[in-house]
Amino acid sequence: MVECVELLGYLNQLLKPADFNDYCPNGLQVEGCPIVSRLVTGVTASQALIEKAIEFEADAVLVHHGYFWKGESTVVTGMKRQRLRLLLQHDINLLAYHLPLDAHPLYGNNAQLAALLNICVDKERAEKGGGLLWSGILPDAFTAGDFAKYLQEKLAGRPPLHIGDQQRTISTIAWCTGGGQGLIEAACELGVDVFLTGEASEQTTHVARERGIEFFAAGHHATERGGVKALGEHLADVYNIDSQFIDIDNPV
């Protein structure tokens, strides 16, 4: 077991949230009991995840998508009340790390997605603040069509959205997990064959076609499971606590 204060200190040192201009508070979002011996990790602090955490008798929940986003209503009513009520009633700490958990060189979502897909990461770019947009080389010379199948196999079992040419041979890739579709033009500037992210917008199609890049959206949730899961396993090793990653399926 570990004191929550110590756990937070460790996470803040590891993930350096002060280096990011984020859309939500990073770190402790809801205070619970002072000692953590059981931890649940998950992508989003939805009600379903909290209910699973209660079943697991978790002292803390660690997520990538927490609460209190910039621009959201500040009142505690409805869905937000219900989520907070469950956490507070059960004395569960809610810890959330957003951008710091996308970008971390080892436990970040981008790093974990690269490991899952066996991408050879351009380390220099990643380290000098590639930040949210990483690049590298694919493990094989795929056609874009085969790469779509590879993504389906490695991720949620769902076919990704692909805008491009099935027959094209591809070898270089840039990626940003989650809702990274706004980075498609930055990816084009890197001169890569492929841009992979979680989601697409209407205009993404036109950018992909007109800039001639193979675009894949493989799911916001599916591409962001790796970071928090890896981080939870790491914390379990460091502090000898029970940690369990709980996947609440999400097709988006």
Binding site for Zn ion (CB under 5 A): 178, 224
CB of 222 to Zn ion, least distance (A): 11
CB of 246 to Zn ion, least distance (A): 17
Comparison of 144 and 151: residue with beta carbon closer to Zn ion = 151
Closest CA to 65 of 36, 26, 30, 8: 26
Comparison of 93 and 109: residue with beta carbon closer to Zn ion = 109
Residues 114, 175 contacting (CB under 8 angstroms): yes
CB of 220 to Zn ion, least distance (A): 6
How far apart are alpha carbons 99 and 32 in whole angstroms?
23
How far apart are alpha carbons 163 and 217 in whole angstroms?
9
Comparison of 52 and 65: residue with beta carbon closer to Zn ion = 65
CB of 142 to Zn ion, least distance (A): 26
Comparison of 42 and 178: residue with beta carbon closer to Zn ion = 178
CB of 15 to Zn ion, least distance (A): 15
Closest residue to bound Zn ion by CB: 178
Comparison of 178 and 226: residue with beta carbon closer to Zn ion = 178
CA dihedral 23, 26, 32, 36 (to 10 degrees): 150
